[in-house]
Amino acid sequence: MKKHLYIGGKWVEPGAYAPLYSPYSGVLLADIPLATKEETERAIAAAYEAKAVMASMPAHKRAAILEKLSQLLAERADEAASLISLEAAKPIKAARTEVDRTIQTYKFAAEEAKRVTGEMIPLDAAPGGEGRIAYTMREPLGVIGAITPFNFPMNLVAHKVGPAIASGNTIVLKPASQTPLSAYFLAELLEEAGLPAGALNVVTGSGAVIGDVIVQDERVKAISFTGSPKVGIGIRNRAGLKRVALELGSNSALIVDKEVPLTKLIPRCVQGAFAYQGQVCISLQRIYVHNEIYEEFVEQFTAAAGGLKLGDPLDPNTDLTSMITKQDTTRALAWIEEAVLEGAQLAYGGTTTNGMVLPTVLLEVDRTAKVSCEEVFAPIVIINRIQDVGEGIAHINDSRYGLHAGIYTNNIHTAFEAVEKLHVGGVLINDIPTFRVDHMPYGGVKESGIGREGVKYAIEEMTELKTVIINRT
C-alpha cells in the first residue's frame, strides 16, 4: 500500500518512498512518502493560500467541522485504534483509550471555537482615558507548523490541529516517521468533515529536511513541537520571531509520604510507570518513598510489575509490548546496566523476552545515572528512599526537567508545601504525575519546554491579541 502526500486538499504522489514496518512484528505496513524541500514548500504555499478562507470562516462553521470530525472518528474508532496499535506498537487497550481521548479533544476544540473572546478595558481607570471604550479581540496567526511525536500519534496531533482549526488557522503537519498513517487517516476524515482545501496539509519524511523548511519559512507564523529537548532547542534557535510552543518531555517524579495506604496507590503507580512501555512524556520515572514504608512499597510494587503481560499489541490482554525501535531497546538495556554498575539494585526486570523489555524496577539509584537524570522513555522506574518530604522535593527539583510531579500524603500542610516548592508545570496531589485530561493546561518549565497545550490554552498560543479603542468624544 502506497500513501500520498496531502497538499492543498489533494493526494499528491511523491518522488520517493520509504517502507514503514510494524515495530512488533516487522511486517511491512505501507510505503510512506519522503517529501522533498520543494514539496514541503508547496504544502506551506497551500496553507498560506487557505489562511484567508479559514480566518473569515464563522466560528459556528469551524465548530461544526470539528464536531463532524469527532463524530466520524467515533464511527471508525476500532479502525483508528488498530492503526495506532500497528504503527506505534501500542497495546490495543491503550490505543482505544487514545482514540477516545482524541474524540474528546476535537469536541473540546469544537466548543472552544465558539468562545475565542477578548475583554473590555476600562480606559477611564487612567487619567486621560475618559470618553473612550476599549476591547480586545483574538485573530488567527495564519499558518501553523505542527511537528508531532510517535507516542500519541492521534491525540497529540489533535492538540495541535484542533486548536488551530478552532481559532481559524491553517496547518502544515509533519508527523513522526514511525506513525504517519494516523495523520493521513486524519486528513481523510477532515476532508469528509468539510475542511476547506489547504487548511490541513500533511507531509512525511526526513525531519531534517521537512522540519527545517517549516521552521524557517517566513509564511509559517507559529511552530508547535512535541519531542526531544535537543531538537526543540534547535527549533527555537532557528525560528526567528515565530511563536514557538515546545513540549519537550521530562523524568517525572512522585513522592510517597509516610502513613499513606498503598492498596490503591500501587496499581496507579505501576500503570503510570509502565503504560505504553514508559514511552509517555509524563511517565512515572522516579519514585521517592518515605523510609517508614519503603520496604513495603517496593515489595508490593515489584509484585505488581511482575504481573504485567507482555505480547502482541493487538491482544486485548497485553500490557506491554515492543518499544518503538530496536535501537531504543538497546539503549534502555544499556542504561539499566550502567545504573547497576554504579550501585543500583535490580529488583525486577532488566532484560528482554522475545525482544521486549521487561518492566524494570531499580532501587537506590545514583542521581547521576541516566535512568534518573535523563528522560528514560522506556519501561524503567527507579525507587529511592527518603527521610522526609523535603528531601523528596529537593530530589525532584534536582533536574533539568520540570513537567509534572506528584505527591501522595495525608497531610494538607505537606501537600501545599509541595505545591509551593516543586518547580514544575503541574503538581498532582494524591495522584501520579502521569495524569492528564485534554482541556487542562499542560506544559513544563526548564528543559521541559515553553508554552501550554490544552485546547483553550493552545488557542491563546495560536492567536494574536488586538486592541480596539473607540473615542466617543
pTM for this predicted structure:
0.96
pLDDT of residue 217: 97
Strand partners, 348: 361
pLDDT of residue 1: 82
* From 39, 87, 112, 247, active-site residue: 247
Residue 247 is among the residues annotated as catalytic for this protein: yes
pLDDT of residue 354: 94
What are the b/e assignments for 341-354, b being 16+ CB within 10 Å?
eeebeebbbbebee
Block mean pLDDT (10 aa), the chain, length 473: 95 96 97 97 98 98 98 98 98 98 98 97 96 97 98 98 98 98 98 98 94 97 96 95 95 97 96 98 98 98 98 97 97 98 97 97 97 98 98 98 98 98 98 98 97 97 98 93
* From 269, 281, 375, 461, active-site residue: 281
